[in-house]
Chain A
Amino acid sequence: MAMTRKQQRGAMIGAGLGALGLAAGLVLYALSDTITFFYTPTDVVEKGVQPGTRFRLGGLVADGSVVRGQGEVVSFKVTDTKDTMPVTYVGILPDLFREGQGVIAEGTLDEGGNFKADTVLAKHDENYMPREIADALKKQGRWKEGEKKPEGTTK
């Protein structure tokens, strides 16, 4: 059954639309289901984030808050200098995880307002602060472009 040129073009357009539709459907479904929001501790309070919701928490590791507990458990506090949130994490922290430095933790909030992180990201090198954190701090007027370190934190 030879196809005419018109039929062939129709079949190709049909197949193209089919693939596009499949991709669009998958993308829409996945976007509604799998994305993770980024919040600072202040956002968490203001937006009333519910326990069990998965999100990324960003801010600075509060000074003097890192406690290495039994075995592999580490707890610390993340602050955006306005609000502060306790975090627990089981595992090995990144090399550049330090008090007074930027951090992003991904996980969920438990009933007691404690953030259980399963991933902790720090920066890649000494000169870099995660952009989300820099923006969040800038928004609150705590940190200006070009300053070495945000106010209110010491190394």
Chain B
Amino acid sequence: MAIRDDFEEVAGQVRLVLHRFALVVLVVAAFAAMLIGKADTVLVENARVLALDLASPALEAIARPVAVANRTIADLKEFATLREENARLREENTRLLAWQTAARRLENENTRLRELANFREGPEASFITARIVGDSVSAYVRGALLNVGRKAGVEPGQAVVTGEGLAGRVAEVGDNSARVLFVTDVNSRLPVQVERTRERAILAGDNSALMRLTLAQTLQGVQRGDRIVTSGHGGSFPVGIPVGEVVQTESGSVKVRPFADFSRLEFVRVVDYGVTGLVSTGSSSPAATSKGR
């Protein structure tokens, strides 16, 4: 009995030492992974893309029922306000019909003037519609995963838009998946212009719901309610995609609320403008182009 107890004691001690040693090894391995990630970014990017491609079928399987549930909840909410919503929409419709007439007139006028001036239109954009299969939203990232990738023609740097406006930019692309970096992400720097004054600026995300507008010249010209659109500088984005609206101009900083509602995105469109070859991959490209100007 005593021998057995001794044996168990020794075995326990050995196990303890092994456990301690195992912990050290694991901690070292975790640090090694971090260091490798810092040293070899290409390897990590490839690993990310591989992980995304592998996880994307599972995510899609999860995303569908979740989307159905979300839609049901949204539907139920809408039922409650159906009457008011209808009245509001009817009113908006009359207003929009007036706008439509104005737009038709302007379009005709524009075409005729362009013909007169021999104006050459930029390249036509084509769209790839994608389902959002994953949110990569945490305390540190604002983004999403799409179920389309290189096979569908998605390339890093392409613009991602919703019905309301610009959502973000394609950051990483796998064979059948892609990661979008939202305009609100801390790594996002977007060349924009104020629609009313045509003043150029850089729109920077900071992981919060609002974005910060850094103007090239002054802050004076900007007013609350001004629309911010892409300026097309940096190459990959078409000109004039609506991004957001100025909501705050106090204390020297201009805050912009994005038009895209990130909390209920389900489908987005990836815009292929045919000029993405100009930008390199990764997060540095918009910042680099903005510095270059």
Chains A and B form a bound pair? no
